[in-house]
Structure 1
Amino acid sequence: MPKVVKRTFSLTEEQAKFIDSMVESGGFATGSEVVRDGLRAMQEYEAAIERWLHEEVVPTLRELDADPSRARPVDEVFAELYAEIEEQQRLRERA
């Protein structure tokens, strides 16, 4: 197990209650486990964003720099995104 470093943090009452409820539900043995699990999730999220930026965003920007004719107007892209979101909402409402 990695070296444990003690820290002191201030939490809102709502955050403290959430931690307590996670321990009381049996999912975690201590509040420290809840916090560590939350931090691990944040680290994974940040790493996923970093991977996405390096593996998808940067290459796409390089492709657009090489061939600017592939670029599309932002209002066109947003219109497609909004239409897709609306369609997904309609499908969920039918289910």
Structure 2
Amino acid sequence: MSLNLPLPDSIQNFINEQVAIKGYNSAAEYILHLIRQEQARTARVESLLLAGLDSGNSLEITDDWWEQKRAQLVQKFDQQQQ
């Protein structure tokens, strides 16, 4: 598949600089590298989210829960200030 993207000059210049600085053979190679990095990052985030879901008992987060957490943090902060 081929993809043709019109880019502003500033972005094209940035890509060309990155290709030269980082030793890529072409802009296409650099952009493909960025896309593969994003795919890997997305897969890692999904994996971490699934691991989190499987990590233990679920907890319902309610307004009361948040208020209790806020109160605990305020109390802890106040104790540290004394």
Q: Does 1:25 align with 2:18?
A: no
* Structure whose alpha-carbon radius of gyration is higher: 2
Identity %: 16
1:65-86: CA deviation from partner (whole Å, max 9, x where unpaired): 4xxxxx7744368x5xxx8xxx
Q: Which residue of 1 aligns with 2:70?
A: 75
Figure out how many residues of one structure are paired with residues of the other and give that number: 68
Deviation at 1:35, TM superposition (A): 0.4
Q: Which runs of 5+ in 1 are unaligned?
A: 66-70, 84-95
Structure 1 residue aligned with 2:8: 12
In 1, the alpha carbon distance for the partners of 2:32 and 2:69 equals 40
Uncovered stretches (5+) of structure 2, i.e. residues with no partner: 60-64, 78-82
Alpha-carbon distance change, 64 to 15 in structure 1, aligned in 2, over 3 angstroms: same
Structure 1 pair 76/20, CA: closer, same or farther in 2 (3 Å)?
farther
RMSD value over aligned CA atoms? 2.7
| Cα distance in 2, alignment partners of residues 75 and 17 from structure 1 | 47
- With over 3 angstroms needed to count, the CA separation of the structure-2 counterparts of 1:33 and 1:48, relative to structure 1, is same
Which whole-Å deviations, capped at 9, do the CAs of 1:2-32 have from their partners, x for residues lacking one? xxx2111122333211210012225201000
With normalisation by structure 1, the TM-score equals 0.56
* 2:36 pairs with 1:40: yes
Question: Which residue does 1:64 correspond to in 2?
Answer: 58
Does the C-alpha gap of structure 1 residues 9 and 74 become closer, same or farther in structure 2, counting only changes over 3 Å?
farther
TM-score, scaled relative to structure 2: 0.64
